[in-house]
Chain A
Amino acid sequence: AQKITQTQPGMFVQEKEAVTLDCTYDTSDQSYGLFWYKQPSSGEMIFLIYQGSYDEQNATEGRYSLNFQKARKSANLVISASQLGDSAMYFCAMRAPNAGGTSYGKLTFGQGTILTVHP
């Protein structure tokens, strides 16, 4: 079974500073994918960044980067130059293969971290 752990219920950051949101995962599969989603107060889930388990380089998307440490089973999200609009709930999620060995896209989510950006 897959499990995602986000140990920070809430985080605060000053505008323009960088912030790291923690995510650790547990799986026995060799092939898996890690995702980060942002959920503003409106409720919609916004895809931010993806890291495949075989990707050798850390993923980056604009101000978002994923600090992937496979041996430690961690996939922390780094947001650089925080903006007020970054205030939201952030979820780490993992996609792993099904019993047949092919991925059916099921995502397992962590509990989330509420990020508040102060001006």
Chain B
Amino acid sequence: DGGITQSPKYLFRKEGQNVTLSCEQNLNHDAMYWYRQDPGQGLRLIYYSQIVNDFQKGDIAEGYSVSREKKESFPLTVTSAQKNPTAFYLCASSMGRDGGYEQFFGPGTRLTVL
């Protein structure tokens, strides 16, 4: 089945540690995105990538880093510089470099900093 997978579903991290969230898609989509969602809030864009080996900062990129070495993969690293990393993280993809029609979302990763 085509879709987007994110792992792990739940992630716990100690303060001061970097952690990497996985996002893989087999939809052959060019564009991929990372969003952050805080409780009771909408989604905010962290980073996005329209093509392999290229990515741009979204609205809240500070304390995060990404890479796009393969079309199907767009991992997100939450660094120790991110002051309040506890949140729900959603990865998405869409068809064309211009974003296509709709974004398809993965099931999300819930990150908790202890």
| Residues B16-47 near A (CB distance < 8 A) | 31, 33, 40-45
State which of A42, A43, A105 has its C-beta within 8 Å of the C-beta of B33: A105
Q: Are B31 and A105 in contact (CB under 8 A)?
A: yes
The CA of A80 and the CA of B92, in the complex, are separated in Å by: 28
Q: Are B31 and A104 in contact (CB under 8 A)?
A: yes
State which of B48, B102, B107 has its C-beta within 8 Å of the C-beta of A44: B107
Chain B residues within an 8 Å CB radius of A111: 40-42
Total number of B residues with any Cβ neighbor in A under 8 Å: 30
A4 CB to closest chain B CB, in angstroms? 8
State which of A45, A46, A91, A104 has its C-beta within 8 Å of the C-beta of B98: A104
The CA of A25 and the CA of B50, in the complex, are separated in Å by: 25
Size category of the A interface is: 20 to 34
B99 CB to closest chain A CB, in angstroms? 2
Chain A residues within an 8 Å CB radius of B42: 4, 91, 109-112
State which of B44, B99, B105, B110 has its C-beta within 8 Å of the C-beta of A105: B99
B74 CB to closest chain A CB, in angstroms? 13
**B interface residues with partner A (beta carbon < 8 Å):** 31, 33, 40-45, 48, 50, 56, 58, 88, 90, 92, 94, 96-108, 110
